[in-house]
Amino acid sequence: MIEGRIIGNSPILLISSLMGMDEIASVMPYQLIRQAPKSIRGCELICRLINDIQTHEEEQAKGDAPSAIECYMKEYSVSRREAIERFEKMIEDAWKDINEAALSICKTKNRDGHKEHEVPKPVFEHVLNLCCLVNVLYKYSDGFTYPAKVIKDPVTALYADPLSI
């Protein structure tokens, strides 16, 4: 499962979020997303799996196509709980890949002494922000389908009732 390219909206979200950024004035970041370095694959994996963990039961009840959870259960003859535990481990490993990429942005230099890394910092920040957003939306419930249950209170607290400093 981890070897193939993840099917989902995360590449589209990443590409569309880069449009209009002044820091991105070339096609290189878009090509990087298509080439899918480790940090991009990690983001795609997090987005896909955390969504499937939270939404697969409701989608199956509606008669949707099998989710990654059902496919994994059938392919490996495991229970739903075991499949979810394996997905959570894959999500954890994907976060490690993203953290590794974050550290390489800070410390890696090429022969000329200039920073050299797989993804430019502004692009990486978008990757990280998307992963954080998806984590908030799907960590405990389906916050995309039911935003009033999941994100209404944090957004209200952040913008309508900010802390005074």
* pLDDT tens digits, 26-75: 676 677 777 667 877 888 888 888 888 988 888 888 888 888 899 999 99
Does the pLDDT value for residue 87 go beyond 90? yes
Q: Look at residue 73 in the predicted model and tell me its pLDDT.
A: 93
- List, as own/partner pairs, every contact residues 72-76 make where C-beta atoms lie below 8 angstroms and the sequence separation is at least 24, other chains included: 72/1
Does the pLDDT value for residue 108 go beyond 70? no
Residue 132 lies in a domain: yes
DSSP letter, residue 147: H
Q: Give pLDDT tens digits for 114-151.
A: 444 566 777 788 788 888 888 888 877 877 777 788 78
Decide if 14 contacts 42 (C-beta within 8 A): no
Question: Greater confidence, 140 or 23?
Answer: 140
* Number of domains composing the chain: 1
Instruction: With CA atoms as reference, report the closest residue to 26 among 134, 138, 123.
Output: 123
Residue 154 lies in a domain: yes
Residue 90: count other Cβ atoms within 10 Å of its Cβ. Answer: 19
Q: Look at residue 84 in the predicted model and tell me its pLDDT.
A: 94
Residue 133 lies in a domain: yes
Q: Look at residue 8 in the predicted model and tell me its pLDDT.
A: 66
Q: Look at residue 23 in the predicted model and tell me its pLDDT.
A: 65
Confidence category of residue 3, pLDDT binned at 50, 70, 90 = very low
Residue 4 lies in a domain: no
Residue 165 lies in a domain: no
**pTM of the entire predicted model:** 0.73
Q: Look at residue 151 in the predicted model and tell me its pLDDT.
A: 80
Decide if 13 contacts 100 (C-beta within 8 A): no
CATH of the domain at 80: 1.10.600.10
Residue 84 lies in a domain: yes
Enclosing domain of residue 45: 10-160
Residue 3 lies in a domain: no
Q: Look at residue 7 in the predicted model and tell me its pLDDT.
A: 62
Residue 1 lies in a domain: no
143 to 148, 152, 159: CA distances (angstroms) = 8, 9, 18
Question: Greater confidence, 142 or 8?
Answer: 142
Query: How far, in Å, CA of 133 to CA of 151, rounded?
Result: 10
Does the pLDDT value for residue 96 go beyond 80? yes
Q: Which residue has the tokens 């005074």?
A: 164
